[in-house]
Amino acid sequence: MKKLPEKIALDKAIHGTRNYQGTVELKKMSRLLGLLANSEGSVNFSLQFERSAGIIGKAQVIVKTDLPLVCTISQKEFMFPVEIDSTVGFIDDLAYEDRLDEGMEVSWVEDDFINPLEIIEDELILVVPDAPFDDSNEKESNEVVIKDNKKPNPFAVLKDLKK
């Protein structure tokens, strides 16, 4: 297991099939912060680099965290659970985009270096909903409605008269 550096030489990471894993604080992700309720929390990650035919290489990106969001309906803060397992393909020419495997996300490479924190942050930005909704509130309100609907049946008395 290697510590997450600021820059990674992509060719060395791919040819060495390097794996970077650990934890990073949310407050280090400046582009993501504007979408969050606060900067508290951390992200568990794993980046596994591999070779890939036709492109520079690829990385399996696994991310797990709880993002603090604000519900658009209740305006209350809630934790949005996130588990990502995706594959990112690295290219340095748009002509290679059609060489990516199906379902593979593209990541542009300049100067043969990448910023791994940006890759993790990109994955998180993609999963933040446009209109965050805390469905745990909906479950609670549905339970209240169900309890209120359990009134005695007025026709239950007629059942006894029928006998």
Give the DSSP letter of residue 151. P
Inside any domain, residue 2: no
- Coil/strand/helix, residue 141: helix
Q: Which pLDDT belongs to residue 42? A: 97
Q: Which pLDDT belongs to residue 88? A: 97
Give the DSSP letter of residue 2. B
Inside any domain, residue 89: yes
How far is it, in rounded angstroms, from Cα 113 to Cα 106?
15
Please report, for residues 15, 104, 139, 145, the alpha-carbon distance to residue 60 in angstroms, rounded to integers and kept in the order given.
Answer: 14, 10, 34, 44
Inside any domain, residue 36: yes
Structure tokens at 47: 């980046």
Q: Which pLDDT belongs to residue 13? A: 96
The reported pTM is 0.80
Inside any domain, residue 160: no
Inside any domain, residue 162: no
In order, the DSSP letters of 101-157 are PTTPEEEE-BTTEE-HHHHHHHHHHHHS-SS---HHHHHHHHHHHHHHT-PPPTTHH
Inside any domain, residue 113: yes
Number of domains in the chain: 1
What is the domain range of residue 34? Answer: 8-132
pLDDT tens over the chain, length 163 residues: 556 899 999 999 999 999 999 999 999 999 999 999 999 999 999 999 999 999 999 999 999 999 999 999 999 999 999 999 999 999 999 999 999 999 999 999 989 999 999 999 999 999 999 999 998 855 555 555 455 556 666 666 666 666 5
